[in-house]
Amino acid sequence: MQLKRVVVTGIGTLTPIGNNLNDYWSNLINGVSGAANITLFDASKFKTRFACEIKGFDPTQFMDRKEARKLDRFAQLAVVASDMAVADAGISTENVDVDRVGVIFASGIGGLTTFQEEVISFAKGDGTPRFNPFFIPKMILDIAAGQISMRHGFRGPNFAVVSACASSTNGIISAVDNIRLGKADIILSGGSEAVISEAGLGGFNSMKAMSERNDDPATASRPYDKDRDGFVMGEAAGVLVLEEYEHAIKRGAKIYCEIAGGGATADAYHLTAPHPDGLGARNVMLAALKDAGMKPEEIDYINTHGTSTPLGDGAEVKAITEVFGEHAYKLNISSTKSMTGHCLGAAGVIEAIACIQSVIHDIVPPTINHFTDDPELDPKLNFTFNKAQKRTVNAALSNTFGFGGHNACVIVKKYVA
């Protein structure tokens, strides 16, 4: 069976370093950190008091106040990013078959803030069960996909994907597979996350997963640095309009790039820690290369999972050297989480967008906040420390790994007609 080609024809994104694609990309290549003291709530009593928040986001600039109140912040971000992507792709109910346009959307956690607020409200009461009628539909993570479809009238495949921090990458892979098999012409796919709240911060703090560098938040996310001490929580949303190639050509769409392939594996090892030898990470990159029909030496850039945790960074580097051999030393490697923080279920899509822009512009964004070499990491590898590098990027690979041992990887390449 001849699989159909899948291209990207629209992009929308909201991130801690830019509320649109141009600002996001400009700040990425200029090495801007999105980390600062938390403003969404009083974090003064927490071990970590900073995060990578989206700045200046007001949902009422994009929807009326009544509609905004019915949506958790993660769904607000999802809806706005999807509006951007749909407008960018130039699609509407008039120029596409809405029965063949789907939405496959991801979140690692969903409406945690809504859940927290409702439970606290109940606990403060007299025990009478009074809950907001929108509590459940605001909280459930599939509601973002549903809201996007209702907003735009898209009636194709519609569901949510959750695999912790690999969620939106798995969502992209699922969307690509549906289009390849002819089940849809277009699918909006991506993810959103907004859990910078007491419950989110406290939960991750209790796991000792996050940096506590409160004296200097801007430099706290430092993947591959000897003194890294945990990830920095971020929030974001990103949406890709994925389209069957011939369909895109017929409607005269602009094409950003082609999705070459993807892979998914499990570590089958530990609840939160990666396999120490990078076994799952190695297997997922090999699976993605096989799916794309590409050789390791055809990859020019890897946007790593690179969370700035002591165990995770080393395991991923080990996997890269195993998969790519001598070619590993010709690659550019970088972790854009050094700037955006770790946006959990939305990390995959915003990092895929970084890869797409890298392929288009032939620039690799840096890994910022590098101060001290880690003697356990191969010094011959090019981690693109502190400054963006210009080079030809014909193909880029994006890694995302999640709690539970979920691994997902997607490869994007330059569009060739």
Q: Which residues contact 263 (CB under 8 A, 6 or more apart)?
A: 173, 283, 284, 285, 286, 287, 288, 289, 290, 291, 408, 409
Split at pLDDT 50, 70, 90, the class of 104 is very high
> Is 52 in the active site?
no
pLDDT of residue 364: 98
CA-to-CA distance for 281 and 312, rounded, in angstroms? Answer: 10
Split at pLDDT 50, 70, 90, the class of 273 is confident
% of the chain surpassing 70 pLDDT: 100
Quickly name the fold that domain 7-250 has. Peroxisomal Thiolase; Chain A, domain 1 (3.40.47)
pLDDT one-digit tens code per residue, 291-339: 999 999 999 999 999 999 988 899 999 999 999 999 999 999 999 999 9
pLDDT one-digit tens code per residue, 105-131: 999 999 999 999 999 999 998 888 889
Res 183 pLDDT > 90:
yes
% of the chain surpassing 90 pLDDT: 92
pLDDT of residue 417: 81
Average pLDDT over residues 348-377: 98
Res 1 pLDDT > 80:
no
* Every domain of the chain and the residues it spans: 7-250, 262-413
Q: What CATH number does domain 262-413 carry, 3.60.10.10, 3.40.47.10, 3.10.450.50, 3.10.580.10?
A: 3.40.47.10
pLDDT of residue 347: 98
Res 276 pLDDT > 90:
no
Res 278 pLDDT > 80:
yes
Domain 7-250 identical in fold to domain 262-413:
yes
Res 277 pLDDT > 80:
yes
Average pLDDT, the chain: 96
Average pLDDT over residues 177-204: 97
- Residue tagged active-site, from 52, 165, 343, 355: 165
pLDDT one-digit tens code per residue, 389-415: 999 999 999 999 999 999 999 999 999
Q: Which residues contact 301 (CB under 8 A, 6 or more apart)?
A: 331, 332, 333, 334, 355, 358, 364, 391, 393, 395, 396, 397
pLDDT of residue 112: 97
Least confident of 34-43, 160-169, 267-276, 325-334: 267-276
